Amino acid sequence: MIPMIVLATGNQNKVREFREILADFPVRIASLGDFPKIPEALEDGATFEENAYKKALHTAKILGLPAIADDSGLCVDALGGEPGIFSARYAGEGATDDDNCRKLLRELAETANRKAHFACAISIAVPSGPALTYEAVCEGEILREKRGASGFGYDPLFWFPALGKSFAELTPEEKNRVSHRGKALVELRQEIDKVIKWLGQRLAEEKPPKPDHHQFTDDWSER
């Protein structure tokens, strides 16, 4: 039986990247789009790793299924590592990608040091708590204006010197190969057999109770 792992994100760009990178492995990737009534996890951790774990465990506990989550963001040297874990809401709650990019350009307007890196932590959790973590970074620089029409988030402003392109100018294949999320997922891929075995052992040993779905409109207990 092919194991199911729920990808704990509503970001369809992330869902696509995860599915592309793990496409040829014996894992069924579901997403929060398959379980639309789940309340959002509270992302109040101090690091990418803490927030990834919180999201994965939150989803695993509610569904009674193993879950995978990532937390990632842009860390700019001249800003002391900001926006960091606040990357998605750098310009405030409900900010769009354009809002965040505009704020970043304003903050760096007079700054010569444009060095930055993307960071990513991926956590795979089972309902009772144990988890595996994979982390990676991608070094680059912040441009003075947007370049490229692909990608999302800060991709149009993130210059990747090794390929001479912004992240928004990379093909999906190029980005999956060099990005922070792509590199973390490559580490996961290299251990996929171990991960599947670990999941099987944890679920068999712990036998978590059937989750209570009565608080939600949908009942997933038979899925």
Catalytic residues: 71
- Residue 209 preceded by cis peptide, ω within 30: no
Burial 179-208, CB ≥16 within 10 A → b, else e: bbbbbbbeebeeeeeebbebbeebbeeeee
Q: Dump the DSSP string for 103-143.
A: HHHHHTTT-S--EEEEEEEEEEE-TTS-EEEEEEEEEEEE-
Q: Cβ of 164: how many Cβ atoms within 10 Å?
A: 8
